Amino acid sequence: MKQAVSIVLVLLLGAFIFTALYFADSSPLQFKPYGDADLSGRVSQGYVDKNVTADAASEEPAAVVYGETKNAETGSANIVTSVVVNYRSFDTLGEVTVLFVAALGVGLLLSGKRRRQEAAFQPSFILKHGVRIVLGIMVIFGVYLFTHGHLTPGGGFSGGSIIAAAVLLLYVSDNAFKAKVKAFKIAEGVAGSLYVVAGLLGLALGGYFLYNFLPTGVVGDLLSAGIVPIVYILIGLKVGSEISGVIAGFATEEEAL
Amino acid sequence: MIQYFAIALMLVGVYGLLTQKNVIKLIVSLNIFEVGLNVFIISVGYVSGGIAPILTSQNNTSALLYVDPLPQALVLTSIVIGVGVTALALAFARRLHNQYGTYNLDEMEGE
């Protein structure tokens, strides 16, 4: 009975979404079918051309060329990164805060005197020694991802997650392993505060919060895009230590009284 | 086409949220809902024949046809929030299991 009602409700919701998206009247705001999106009518064209703040009507922007364009509005070759850490950096600060609050909540819920959880299985020889080989490569790859976040796919969030995955592997491969949770907390606090300090420096030097006050350099260079790589490294450290802390919380259990 | 699949995935997630009794299955339903939503938002920015919005030494000028970078940036945010929500929900589930010895909502007795 309950299932039948749920199916009816879900189908009604689906029909509503479908008609609202695909059969509404053709106003300028009408939803475009898949693949028909037109960037020239959207703000995104400004992100691609690195030409958001200039007056769009006054001049046709010159094309940004990889390895040649100097001192563009934001120098990062990865356009998604330029949106995430430059144009909408304040948004990202809020996002990092949400992740911090979630990690704090996990820490509170799983607090108390902790010891390592009872082993569900004994790690095999291959797991133990394979992890030793892979671990360094994983950490280096994570660091590579967040230092090159403004040039290649990836960035602070994915790099931090890979570092946290390395910590998870340590937990899986050794039943006695316990990470130093305090070090994670210090790292995440320092990285988060430095992000805010970078924003306040922008406020002092450029006039608004999180202003990109460093020279943006040549598009495509490692040392380009001003504060974008610095902020992404901070985000990577913060996310990595935060998710590692969450993993450490789940891998331990309360000491039996 | 992929948008219809994304909407269907969202509906599967809503159905799971409405019918399931197990806390872990509820969290999984929430995640399915979220994945459907993320795929849908990404698909909104797709341009036929467009390339990924990253300047490289091959695709080296902004005059090429790129897909919309803004939905991708928003989904990056959404994925991270999803991770936080899932971690918090799992921590709650574990507290419930410690207290009641079960993950089933019907078997939890009030005090």
In a domain, A117, yes or no: yes
For chain A, say whether B105 makes contact (Cβ under 8 Å): no
How wide is the angle at C-alpha A81 spanned by C-alphas A79 and A86, nearest 5°?
Answer: 100
Instruction: Quote ipTM for the complex.
Output: 0.83
Whether A107 and A220 map to the same domain: the answer is yes
Domain regions of chain B by residue span: 2-47+68-100
**Residues on chain A touching B45 (C-beta within 8 angstroms):** 37, 44
In a domain, A122, yes or no: yes
In a domain, A67, yes or no: no
Whether A182 and A244 map to the same domain: the answer is yes
In a domain, A151, yes or no: yes
Alpha carbon of A86: minimum distance to chain B alpha carbons (Å)? 11
Range among A17-21, A38-42, B84-88 rated most confident:
B84-88
In a domain, A179, yes or no: yes
Nearest CA in chain A to B42: A34
> CA A174, CA A172: separation in Å to the nearest integer?
6
Whether A30 and A89 map to the same domain: the answer is no
CATH number at B2-47+68-100: 1.10.287
In a domain, A55, yes or no: no
| Total domains in the fold of chain A | 2
> CA B52, CA B40: separation in Å to the nearest integer?
17
Whether A127 and A226 map to the same domain: the answer is yes
Nearest Cβ partner of B15 from A6, A67, A250?
A6
> CA A168, CA A147: separation in Å to the nearest integer?
22
> Tens digit of pLDDT for each residue in A66-118?
777 777 777 788 888 888 888 888 888 888 899 889 988 888 888 766 677 77
For chain A, say whether B39 makes contact (Cβ under 8 Å): no
> Tens digit of pLDDT for each residue in A55-74?
555 556 677 777 777 777 77
Whether A129 and A208 map to the same domain: the answer is yes
Average pLDDT, whole number, for chain A?
Answer: 82
Whether A113 and A230 map to the same domain: the answer is yes
**Nearest by Cα to A155 from A206, A104, A86:** A86
Domain containing A120: what range?
A: 79-254
> Tens digit of pLDDT for each residue in B35-77?
999 999 888 888 888 888 888 888 777 778 888 888 888 898 8
Spatial contact of A187 and A166, defined as CB atoms under 8 Å apart: no
Whether A154 and A235 map to the same domain: the answer is yes
In a domain, A45, yes or no: no
Whether A167 and A226 map to the same domain: the answer is yes
Whether A17 and A122 map to the same domain: the answer is no
Alpha carbon of A34: minimum distance to chain B alpha carbons (Å)? 7
